[in-house]
Amino acid sequence: MGCVSPTLDQIRRVPKVLLHDHLDGGLRPATIVELAAEHGYRNLPTSEPVELDSWMRTAAVRGQLELYLEAFQHTVGVMQTPDALIRAAAECAEDLAADGVAYAEVRFAPELHVSAGLSLDQVVQAVLEGFRIGSSGRGIRVYALLTAMRTAARSLEIAELAVRHRDEGVVGFDIAGAEAGSPPSRHLDAFRYVARENFHITIHAGEGFGLPSIWEAVQWCGAERLGHGVRIIDDIAVEPDGSARIGRLASYIRDRRIPLEMCPTSNVHTGAARSITEHPIGLLRRLSFRVTVNTDNRLMSGVTLSSEFAALCEAFGYSLQDVQWLTINAMKSAFAPFDERLELINTVIKPGFAAAMAPAVSVRAGLSPAAPGYRRPGAGG
């Protein structure tokens, strides 16, 4: 861990990787208001963008996942036409690029966007078109993850949809929604189909429910990554001297380098963590779990990826070297092809961080990046 915490501005300028971000959780408030007016959606709590922004954040900060999810009725409500989906996706890519995100996997549930008559394929095609428009010329690559709602019965259909669009920008399959009472094993046929097709699986697990959800996601359903996974901390005991005893499931997760898509602020809002300073990511990072930093829902939680990193830097004293470690963890864990991941690490991420850290390293050590004693910071785990 480094000793000099970077500013928000410094973090914003370095290339970052985002693996867990919901399209319907990141709309601009003004866009929601405009789309509601255009498409006759009359259920908004207010038609004033600033007030709506405040309402969304207040609605989300209620300490329970099920209550947190209520705010999505309004974003989903205005995302029912091709134009609306294209706009939402394009603005998502624009906003992430403006925050310095170089690679993103953005997830959405196609089954939630068909109430006005769109087919599932039309929903996916519109979102992918939006990502292409919004990322063009902005130095960001945006892929889609298709999510099935775990409380519904369309997971196999969504899994087949994801595989059908795998060559157009969809890189994996996910399930989401209230965890309690809806274990991932209920969707085993969908996960087995995805595995047979040699495709990628990430599962929301260990957020609203504990270790059994994580165990099922990994051992029954073949999850390559865990969405949140924050409750893995329940399998780790910290001794009075600061040492940690790691249980068998947590050891398995760490040994297999299964990535944890951690979303600190959202986890506080849903009650999965008590505060940023008490968030398990601090201990998990220290124990070298494959932790990654993510936004979850930028609108509801009022965050950007840069602000999430800044909060962690303040809470745990992280430096830009720590931010790089976490970023490379995320890029290693992405569902893009290996060659693309390697290219981004070596040509975008490492050079970007080296340039950002070079002045500080040079001043402290009396060296320039060209000097024989200069060392480039290491990679993640």
Residue 68 backbone phi and psi in degrees, to 5: -60, -40
Contact assessment for residue 81 and residue 26, using Cβ atoms and an 8 Å cutoff: no
Rounded to an integer, what distance in angstroms lies between the CA atom of residue 381 and that of residue 379?
7
Copy the structure tokens of residue 34.
Answer: 């405009």
The one catalytic residue in 105, 111, 207, 308 is 207
- What does the block give as tokens for 63? 């300490």
Three-state SS across 199-245? CCEEEEECCCCCHHHHHHHHHHCCCCEEEECHHHHHHEEECCCCCEE
Nearest to 325 by CA among 309, 314, 301: 309
3-state DSSP helix/strand/coil percent for the chain, to nearest 5? 50, 15, 35
Q: Which residue has the tokens 């047979």?
A: 196
CA gap 95, 140 in Å, rounded? 10
Question: Which of 17, 60, 12 has its CA nearest to residue 301?
Answer: 60
Which position has the token pair 């915490």?
A: 5
Concatenated DSSP letters of 8-28: HHHHHHS-EEEEEEEGGG---
Q: Does the annotation mark 160 as catalytic?
A: no
- Structure letter (DSSP) for residue 71: G
Q: Which tokens belong to 70?
A: 């209520």
Alpha carbon 212 to chain centroid distance?
22
Quick one: CA torsion of 28, 25, 296, 173, rounded to 10 degrees?
Answer: -130
Measured CA to CA, the distance from residue 288 to residue 120 in angstroms comes to: 40
Query: What is the total residue count of the chain?
Result: 381
Give catalytic residue positions.
Answer: 207
